[in-house]
Amino acid sequence: MHDKTIAELSAALAAGEFSALELTQALLDRIGAQNPALNAFITVTAEQALAQAREADAKRAAGEAGPLTGIPIAHKDLFCTAGVRTTCGSKMLDNFISPYDATVVEKLAAAGTVMLGKTNMDEFAMGSSNETSFYGPVKNPWNPETVSGGSSGGSAAAVAARLVPGATGTDTGGSIRQPAALCGISGLKPTYGRVSRYGLIAYASSLDQAGPMARTAEDLALLLNAMAGFDPRDSTSVERQVPDYTETLAASIKGLKIGLPKEYFGEGLDGEVGKAIEAAIEEYRRLGAEFTEVSLPNSRLAVPVYYVIGPAEASSNLSRFDGVRFGYRCENPRDLEDMYKRSRGEGFGEEVKRRILIGTYALSAGYYDAYYLKAQQVRRLIREDFVKAFEQVDMLLGPTSPTVAFRLGERRDDPVQMYLSDVYTIAANLAGLPALSIPAGFAHGLPVGLQLIGRDFDEARLLNAAHKFQQATDWHAARPEGY
């Protein structure tokens, strides 16, 4: 059962091959056996999962089942879950139990999914390797000495290791796509505003976007069908009709115009990763796609722009964690000021503190115009580059990450090198565009991710292009040894 995709599990449940209860118990047993080595889960919700599975079986018996009824999933541990601990990978929220469900959690539960637990992540979604978590790093199932990517590394590792067929993640600068690439699975960052952020603990509000992670583009489409849609509780949610993303999956891509940004194929790209992407391009040519070189001249500024805007918004969002209302509070404070300082100093990890300090500096009097305002102006130029490129092509293609998964600890003491892990993914967040990563081969024995970036709200076309590639290749079916 554990090796089936969401689409295959849905068909098997409908055919009565096994029940949702049997499937859930099998995956809970698998998590119990495999998770200690991976550290992919922070919390496992076994009792709740079994109750939801029984409910799913009852709905199926009553003829009320949908495509996701009885499908087990996991949620990244920054989605609020009523009655279940939501830690954000931080000591600061180690004891926080949310009184309500995030909209994404609510929608997927309404679709009949079964929540197996909450997955590990970089603290407050700040990281590219899942090494900043208070609960320790997540190991990559392909090689436990390498990182799983971040910040949604727990979700990526859990899907890759067949502990769960699908999971949720969030993407602020590549945090769905980069771990998906490093762990050899598929992951989608929707258009900003397509999926509600209500109940998602914020890192950078103008960049964060929730999305699905699974083994195939078909599975991403099934999950996105349930996740997408307008939410009046989220002021950044877009009121726009949601299509059925599975309807056009199998459409021909003959004549599809794909742009190759020259900035994504130059210095910094690992040679073996580049070869895998070139092979994928040839496969797309065989499928009838047409390629044009395009330029995103301001993309070289995406990393510095992101590391001004992201930390600036984080310094504002994280000011609420002060030891007063909820979360961690220091022992025996002398006075109010001591409580603030020590609660934040002890509750936040090093990377979170670094970004709060950078963001506070960028927003301070005398520096706002020089840094934050300038970054927002360059952000507009980055988006205009994409708009211009999409006048010539339907979507863009390139590597998701410049390298395969790197060794645990290798970049921990070099923040700049770590930040460059997201050099190809950040621009899509700054522009608010949809983008996905799918497996496209191996380099140095580890998975390589292929990234597709589309126009606003063009997720259906991205999923179609990804699905056709996966019908013609089997990289998405590769399984880590031992799993």
Q: Please give the positions annotated as active site.
A: 76, 151, 175
Q: How far is CA 50 from CA 47, 59, 100, 350, 428, in A?
A: 5, 14, 20, 38, 38
Gyration radius from the chain CA atoms? 21
CA 463 to chain centre: 16
- Structure-token match 């830690």, residue found: 87
Check: CB of residue 149 under 8 Å from CB of residue 405: yes
Please, how many CA atoms are within 13 Å of residue 228, restricted to the half-sphere of its CB?
26
**Helix or strand run (H / E) with residue 294:** strand 290-294
What is the rounded CA–CA span in Å between residue 31 and residue 280?
33
Cβ-based neighbours of 453, under 8 Å, separated by 6 or more: 386, 395, 396, 397, 398, 428, 433, 434, 435, 462
Strands 290-294, 435-443: parallel, antiparallel or unpaired by DSSP? unpaired
- Which residues are 85's β-sheet partners? 97
What's the one-letter identity of residue 378?
A: V
What is the rounded CA–CA span in Å between residue 12 and residue 89?
35
Q: How far is CA 280 from CA 170, 181, 393, 436, in A?
A: 26, 14, 18, 15
CA 103 to chain centre: 16
- Structure-token match 């970049």, residue found: 411
What is the rounded CA–CA span in Å between residue 74 and residue 71?
10
Q: How far is CA 152 from CA 125, 187, 481, in A?
A: 8, 10, 22
